[in-house]
Amino acid sequence: MIEALGLTKRYERVTAVDRLTLKVGQGEILALLGPNGAGKTTTTRMLAGILRPDEGSAKVAGFDILTQTEYVRSVVGVLTEQHGLYNRMRCGEYLDFYGALYGIPAAERKQRADRLLRELDLDVDSDAWLAEFSKGMRQRLALVRALLHSPSVLLLDEPTSALDPESARTVRNMLRRLRDDGATILVCTHNLSEAEELANRIAIIRHGRLIAEGTAAELRARMLGPAVFELKLAEASDDLEGAMGKLVEVIDRRPDGIRFRAADPRSANPEILRRAIRRGMKVVELREVTPSLEAIYLQAVAEEEPAALEGALR
């Protein structure tokens, strides 16, 4: 479990993280989104017990990041943005070295490493030189390194950025499995569809400050207003807007259809259907248009009015 309260980190004149408060529960994945330089890496470094915050506090797996950093580091698995493998080492040696640093008994290290390599579909010989690993293999090996000591908290920076779709799915499945086993996972990513697919909750930071947080649905409702629906007709009709009356807010019109926001779709949508059919219109479909996470993200980051992002919804 991660509980951060007012975390602040300054570098000379720049405030990298500004009074950041967030919570990630046990068995939960939080996706941390934000533009480059938003403070994601600094946040994970503080939570990993690598950097000391200037202000604020945090508990990671019950350990204080200010006073119990050594314990924090022993229960956290970190995947850094740059994997930083040692090219002059063999795969087995590398994992054995990190296993030793985490105090895993010698006999257990190989077992764990082999199991994780298998689970991540990294079919390599333990004698293979790391210099010969492809980008994707390096990323998966770095993930094995982060998971080697069975951490209860995972801080992952772009865990699938260098992976092909199949490998990325393997990693995502593994993260889901770890979450279901009770791990607390914080994922920094620019891959918005992955964040939406994987995370229980999403936090967006900008200039080191938390600007939005919640489930994807909550963020949609909060940032983009009432749900958007689309009504499609078989043939063009001039009377469609008239049929809507003042029931809903129309945001886009086409000859054979219309998009609208409905504050109370349970009562508005049946009424709209009834009116359309009464006027002889042939309704093909009425469906909710789910705005993408990208629209939410852009809205949050751009700090613009929802109207400015109508384009993203169309």
Least distance (Å) between residue 105 CB and other proteins: 11
By CB under 8 A, residue 117 contacts other proteins: no
**Of 7, 24, 33, 51, the one binding other proteins by CB under 8 A:** 51
**Of 3, 64, 93, 310, the one binding other proteins by CB under 8 A:** 93
Give me the torsion for CA of 252, 255, 256, 258, rounded to 10°. 20
Give the H/E segment covering residue 74: helix 69-75
Which is it for strands 28-33 and 184-188: parallel, antiparallel or unpaired?
parallel
By CB under 8 A, residue 83 contacts other proteins: yes
By CB under 8 A, residue 82 contacts other proteins: yes
Q: Which is it for the CA torsion 161, 165, 169, 171, positive or negative?
A: negative
Site for other proteins in 171-210 (CB under 8 A): 178, 181-183
By CB under 8 A, residue 135 contacts other proteins: no
Least distance (Å) between residue 120 CB and other proteins: 17
By CB under 8 A, residue 1 contacts other proteins: no
By CB under 8 A, residue 76 contacts other proteins: yes
Query: CA–CA separation, 257 vs 115, rounded Å?
Result: 54
Number of H helices, E strands in the chain: 12, 14
**Of 23, 71, 124, 207, the one binding other proteins by CB under 8 A:** 71
Give exposure, 119-151, as e/b (b: 16+ Cβ within 10 Å): bbebebeeeeebeebeebbbbbbbbbbbbbbeb
**Of 59, 140, 149, 172, the one binding other proteins by CB under 8 A:** 149
Q: In 10 A of CB 110, how many CB atoms? A: 15
**Of 3, 54, 64, 230, the one binding other proteins by CB under 8 A:** 54
Q: Which two tokens stand for residue 271?
A: 């009424």
Q: Site residues (CB under 8 A) for other proteins?
A: 11-12, 45, 48-52, 54, 61, 70-71, 73-76, 78, 80, 82-89, 93, 97-98, 100-103, 142, 145, 149-152, 178, 181-183
